[in-house]
Amino acid sequence: MPSLSRSRKAQFFVLSAFAIVTIIYFVSKWMEPYTIIDTSSVVMVEEPFIFNNIAEKAAEVVKQSKNCDDLKYNLEEYKVFVEKYGISKNFDISLIYSISQPCNDNDLTTTFGLSLKSPRTSISSQFAARK
């Protein structure tokens, strides 16, 4: 017949093990938010995405223009749009373009200078687009 002291030792062991596991579980749940890496700050920086989109669409404007006059009009309209968009986002966007002279309706070569400045970053680039 088991003695009463052995029975109590077994109960104490089981209760102690349960208490330790419970404490470890709650401590891990309490500390879990601190172990998760916050990557949202990378996504919140939208300047590089906006900059790349402006450059891509500027090249697309050149490719979709039909002739020299159409290219001049489209680029000026796009430039005004981009600068207004920059003001709405509190960015200083400068889009400078130069159409190669003499302008040929079959070969619309344009060089661009694009810069974007914000309180967080400053990006600039020069590139060319051709039809």
Q: When comparing pLDDT for 121 and 7, which is higher?
A: 121
Q: What is the pLDDT of residue 43?
A: 66
pTM of the model: 0.66
> Dihedrals φ, ψ of 57, to 5°?
-70, -30
Assess if residue 41 is contained within a domain: no
Count how many domains the chain has: 2
* Residue 51 confidence (pLDDT): 94
The reply to whether 87 falls in a domain is yes
Which own/partner pairs from 63-68 qualify as long-range (CB within 8 Å, at least 24 positions apart)? 63/129, 63/131, 65/108, 65/131, 66/105, 67/105, 67/108, 68/99, 68/103, 68/104, 68/105, 68/108
**Residues 111 and 95: beta-carbon distance below 8 Å:** no
Quick one: what percent of the chain has pLDDT higher than 70? 89
Tens digit of pLDDT for each residue in 76-113? Answer: 999 999 999 999 999 999 999 999 888 887 888 899 99
Domain, as residue range, for 11? 4-36
User: Quick one: 16 and 52 in the same domain?
Assistant: no
- Flag whether 123 is in a domain: yes
Dig out the tokens for 62 from the structure. 């050149």
Give the whole-angstrom CA distance, residue 81 versus residue 85: 6
Task: Give the separation between CA 73 and CA 68, rounded to whole angstroms.
Answer: 9
CATH code of the domain in which 115 resides:
3.30.1300
Confidence bin at 42 (pLDDT 50/70/90)? low
- pLDDT band at 45; cut points 50, 70, 90: confident
